[in-house]
Structure 1
Amino acid sequence: MKGTGQKLVSAALAGSLLFVTACSADKTKDAAPSGAPAGSPSAAESSKSPDAKEYVIKVLTQTNNQIKRSDETKIGKKIKEKFNMVFEYVQAPGNYADKLNLMLAGGDYPEIVSIQDNATFDKYARAGALLPIDDLVKKSPEFAERYKVQIPLWKLSAHDGKLYKWESSVPADFKNVVEVNDVGVRIDVLEQQGWPQLLSTDDYIKFLKKGLEDNPTTNGKKTIGMIVPFGEPWGMQGISSIMYEKGGRYSTAAGNLGVLWNQVDKKFEDTMTNEYVKESLAFFNKLYREGILDKDSFTDKLDQYNEKLNSGRTLSSWYAVWALTGANQGLVDAGYPEQQYINMPIRSKTQIERNEKRQIRVEDTRPHAIHAITKNAKHPERIMELLAWSATEEGKVLLQSGIEGDEYTIANGKRVPTDAFKKSLTNADAARSIGFGLFDFLGGVLSTAPDGVPYSMQLDPAMQDELQLTQGMRDAYKKLSWENSKDYFLKTGEAANTGIASTVVIDTTSALGALHQKMIDFRIKNSATLIISPKTDEEFESLYQSVIASYKQLKPETVVAEYNRLYQEKQTQLNQFK
């Protein structure tokens, strides 16, 4: 579930890239980039001919990056010096997937293709349009090591078990990508109540009841206790039951369907009957009964949700915390800085008792960021040389941190971002001139370098807070004695790598596929009833047992069993590729 909140400029520059025809031209010398950290030489240094002709590959992009050629950027110049390769950016408006399908049908697909889903990748691979890169792995130990987890998974997604692709933004380090969407809480109410360390569902009920008593109106309008965008397609289906991800057993690798992924026991389980899902629904029922939950939440979509958040009227917001920074900046501009929000954790009663490490999803693969070399490539060996180099320490640092002395300095053996680097993260022109976001097709990583600093320095938690949080948000976390906005989650959570769990899916056209959809529909309908109807805890329990009795008549265990069978089948295949 994606957010629409404030993003870093360099990330916004990374548009969907699609490669087309190449041409040859001038010569250049084989100069190594200056300022690169010491380490093993790139795989290309020994094989590249000094008089190789300039190799220009046109790049179709849907992002208006204002850069025509990669050698207009600092990073692009270094790539040209080393490989005499240039990428020419061409605007391509319209439906991206349709363009890929038309190119495949006409046989005029590009030298390197960027693909945004596994279905399209499968079409290209089965059509024989892609070149296997298994030899690249054999010849480039850095590439093989960098993607040692991903390569077997990538082979698993191919119909013939060959390696045709690589993906951007993997691998990822847990501490660099802590995605936690819990509860947005208003700062002034935290201060009114002495900066309580909210965590349990009971903590939130008590806090919000008191907050409404103390603040019946906000800016001349009635104060709302909690807002939730249940009106979104993923609303009641996904976030009414999402308490399961706050504990220590389940991750969101299975999405918001009829099954959950048990990260600890490595198996799929039923969603509707899960104990944490029950506690999630009971929590919302209690919020509803206490008059805390906004009655409009059942129809509100993100537009309405954001409107209420931006007004400062609500004391809390559920899940869509990516909108907090934008709302906070608006509140500051409107003269209400005290009404800003911060993201705070929540756990159910059972999760508190168990005190297990929270399973925080870390993606092992990113099928919406696939890249592959096609059989139309004029010089595939040169492209592979560039890919091999991009997997070296020299390549990873240059592509994601820039040039030593310009974007970073070295202090005590660690890269330290300069003011120029920080400016590039909030200024599109500065980012473009360096080249950040324009070379993601070479496979930028979200991992940490040997010096202890993320290859992309903006991923450091302290740096993220400096760039993405308002001063009021940073001050609030200090009042709570947090080192940064991710402090609690880093200390109480652990990486939940998705592995093959997120790739398992039942054929939607099969009888079991139809049953799976019935399970989802049943849960959506009855979740709303369980939140609204019961007037007491006893009524909730009675209605819940009745609902579950009806649900079991669908025989959901047959769908769960099929998910686990498919998982074991894929696990066996995966082991063969390792």
Structure 2
Amino acid sequence: MVKTWKKLPVLMIAASLAAAGCSSGGEAGKDGGATAGGDAAKSADPVTLSIFGVANSTIISKPFQDDEIITELQKRTGVKLDFTPDLNVTDRAEKLAVMLAGKDLPDIVVFNALTDRAKVNSAKVAMPLDELVEKFGPDIKKNAGKALEISKMMNSDETRSLYYLPGHVGNVQFSPNVNDNSWNLRWDLYKKLNFPKLDTLDDLLNVLEKMGELEPTNKDGKKNYGLGLNLSDAWGQLMIDKAIANLQGFAQASSNDVYVDMSTGLPVPRVSDPNSIFWKSAQFYNKAYQRGILDPESATMKFNTITDKYKTGRYFASTTYWSLGGADKQFIADGHPEKGFVPFMVDYNKQNIYVGQATYNGDQFEMFISKTSKNPEAAMKFINYLFSDEGARLMMNGIEGKHYKMVNGVPMVTDEELNARQSDPKHYIQTGIGKYNNLLRYTPQKDPNGYPANFNDVPETQAKLLTQVQKEFMEHYKQKTVTEHFTKVPKYVFDTSLLGSLSTVPGSDIQAKEQQLDAYLVANIAKVIYQKNDADYEKAKAKFLEEYTSKGAAAVFNYYKDKYIDLTTKVGKPK
């Protein structure tokens, strides 16, 4: 059985991560990252670097941030980050496309390789990094050496240069308190229904329908729904099968038409196979639509709207904890600690489930220095700090003495910090802890001193972080942690870093086919889901598959299948 620890997500897609002690001494001097800023950190005037893609644009309202993490990061590295490229961005993929087309890029760019790798590769805007890493990246080489080799092997050109630095290297996302890869349901309403069975997806629809009868509107009088989708985002289609495929043991972290079947370790078609889990999931949402359980605005919604609806109590279920956007904290702040979400296993595989994501060699949020950067050396020194143990500790946990203290050799989040997090859903904007999730490059499971790298996962702190709802859930099911039930499945963690490293060759016929397939999927999947009866759904599905497969789906799938098998032969299968 895999035993893992994970960061506690804080209000976004995401998450949180590891960090360092005070800059005035103590632990900070123990690891190589302490001087990663080099001479720049000692100079009177900081180096200004522009950056894009590291935080949710809804919380970036001015070019220069002044939260505690960013202030400390500047002090330690001598780098002042300019977030201007992220201002007023409603669709990050669209903004990236505009910047790529105009070759007008900031110094440092983070992008989602799942949706944007092809266009980034084709634009040829990333600077070769080998020499910079060799000169200024000792912590990158120490903590992400294998990840760099895989990146060069799978995402380079004829020069075999290093262009991209993956994020969250070394991480295993599995928290004792929440889950990002399974169904999360409103516990208070489930309890009122007297804990009905949730063995099948039809059971789930029945439960959501009954929850709607218990709470038809939110506190503002707006109609509630069982759940919603952000199908207006290019990546929104990935949410259709997220929990359903995960619980059946299928991992998706590469081409939109590729799963890896955990039972065999081999790629299988995701979209082009009419009998796949993806289509089982699409049918689930079609049933939800027919029964009035799916928010009818899902076809035109973006992610920010989804999280707002969770926080205002308008949805009862989510396929991941991070998409709740801090709903639990909002309920508590609104004076309703009895309301909240907990993770359930619905229609799950008894041997393999993908509820813990390992990214030992990095995730999809890849970083590059643009060719137009005016100070690539400063950019690399800054990035190296992010890959250091000290940098990881700072980004995940904050500042020693302010956000946590060492108690008998154990890092303990202060009671003041915990109370502030629980009483103010926007506290993270002030501290910066969890605010810059996509900036995180290195997120080890253990600190060099042996305790969990994310101090939220220290057992004493875990207990303090539990909400009333989580405590009730644990007591009802007699569990020691909220997610203990997942750990009873023999395999519940899967490393997606190899799958996520795959890409097509820029300008190739396969790349062109994949882009056509992706565009068709994003533009047309909602038309299938939003059919008013079963017969029309089947017709729409058949039409979709006929047109989708005609665009070269088999060739694209076989390309990724062969690349994955070849890669795992060279470096070994994922754990």
TM category (shorter chain) comes to 0.5 to 0.7
CA distance in 2, matches of 1:546, 1:442: 42
Aligned to 1:58: 48
**What letter is aligned with 1:455?**
A
* Correspondence for 2:353: 357
Matched, 1:169 2:163: no
Tell me how far 1:124 sits from its aligned partner. 8.7
Task: Tell me how large the CA RMSD over aligned residues is.
Answer: 5.7
Contact 1:36 1:398 in 2 (8 A): no
Q: Answer yes or no: is 1:557 the counterpart of 2:557.
A: no
- Counterpart CA distance in 2 for 1:48 and 1:212 is 58
In the other structure, the counterpart of 1:267 is 267
State the one-letter code of the partner of 1:532: N
C-alpha deviation, 1:233, in angstroms? 5.1
Match of 1:146 in 2: 143
Shift of 1:151: 0.9
**Equivalent-residue separation in structure 2 for 1:132 and 1:454 (angstroms):** 33
Q: Which one-letter code corresponds to 1:57 in the other structure?
A: V
1:490 to 1:38, Cα distance in 2 relative to 1, 3 A: farther
2: distance between equivalents of 1:219 and 1:71? 35
Aligned to 1:533: 534
**Per the alignment, in what secondary structure is the counterpart of residue 133 of structure 1?**
helix
CA distance in 2 between counterparts of 1:306 and 1:41 reads 39
Matches within 5 A, 1:116-195: 116=111, 118=117, 122=121, 132-133=131-132, 135-136=134-135, 140=138, 143-156=140-153, 157-159=155-157, 160-175=159-174, 180-195=180-195
CA contact (8 A) 1:136 1:384 kept: no
Q: How does 1:493-504 map to 2 (within 5 A)?
A: 493-501=492-500, 503-504=502-503
* Corresponding residue for residue 6 of structure 1: 11
What displacement does 1:253 show? 0.8
Pairwise mapping of residues 215-364 of structure 1 onto structure 2 (< 5 A)?
226-229=226-229, 232=232, 237-242=237-242, 244-254=244-254, 257-263=256-262, 264-271=264-271, 272-281=273-282, 283-284=284-285, 291=291, 293-294=293-294, 296=296, 301=301, 312=313, 316-319=316-319, 322=322, 324=324, 326-327=326-327, 340-348=339-347, 351-352=348-349, 354-358=350-354, 360-363=356-359, 364=361
Give the superposition deviation at 1:494. 0.9
Task: Classify 1:198/1:66 alpha carbon distance in 2 versus 1 (closer, same or farther; 3 Å).
Answer: same
2:27 is aligned, of 20, 36, 41, to 36
The alignment partner of 1:227 has SS state of coil
Q: Which residue of 2 aligns with 1:457?
A: 455
Provide the C-alpha distance between the structure 2 equivalents of 1:193 and 1:509, rounded to a whole number of angstroms: 50
Query: Any conservation in 2 of the 1:228–1:319 contact (CA below 8 Å)?
Result: no
| Residue type of the alignment partner of 2:413 | P
Structure with the bigger RCO (C-alpha within 8 Å, sep 6+) is 2
Superposed displacement of residue 261, structure 1: 3.4
Query: C-alpha distance in 2, partners of 1:51/1:218?
Result: 50
**Separation (CA, whole Å) in 2 of partners of 1:220 and 1:37:** 49
Residue 27 of structure 1: aligned partner: none
Question: After superposition, what is the alpha-carbon deviation per residue over 1:163-192, rounded to whole angstroms, capped at 9, x for unaligned?
Answer: 355344333223359762544433333223
Q: Deviations 1:143-168 (Å, cap 9, x if unpaired)?
A: 43410331113323232222355344
Residue 406 of structure 2 is matched in structure 1 by 410
Q: Taking structure 2 as the reference length, what is the TM-score of the superposition?
A: 0.67
Q: TM-score, normalised by structure 1?
A: 0.66
Post-superposition offset of 1:488: 3.6
CA contact (8 A) 1:113 1:373 kept: yes
- Asked which structure has the greater CA Rg, the reply is 1
Q: Deviations over 1:38-59 (max 9, x none)?
A: 85666969x9899986674123
**Paired residue type of 2:49:** V
Residue aligned with 2:226, SS? strand
Gaps in structure 2 of 5+ consecutive residues:
1-8, 53-59, 90-94
Stretch moving more, 544-553 or 443-452: 544-553
Secondary structure of the corresponding residue to residue 171 of structure 2: coil
C-alpha contact (below 8 Å) 2:185/2:341 kept by paired residues? yes
Distance 1:119 1:512 in 2: 9
2:4 alignment counterpart: none
Whichever residue aligns with residue 498 of structure 1, its letter is S
**Cα contact 2:404–2:414 (8 A) shared by 1:** yes
- Is contact 2:209–2:293 with CA below 8 Å preserved after alignment? no
For residue 557 of structure 2, what is the amino acid of its counterpart? V
Counterpart Cα distance in 1 of 2:371 and 2:324: 42
Q: What CA deviation, in whole Å up to 9, does each residue of 1:54-84 have, x standing for no partner?
A: 674123367448668999945654x3xxxxx
Where do 5+ consecutive residues of structure 1 fail to align? 15-30, 80-84
CA distance 1:346–1:232, change in 2 (3 Å):
farther
Does the 8 Å CA contact 1:415/1:451 hold for their aligned counterparts?
A: no
Instruction: Note the C-alpha offset of 1:510.
Output: 3.9
Distance 1:65 1:219, change over 3 A: closer
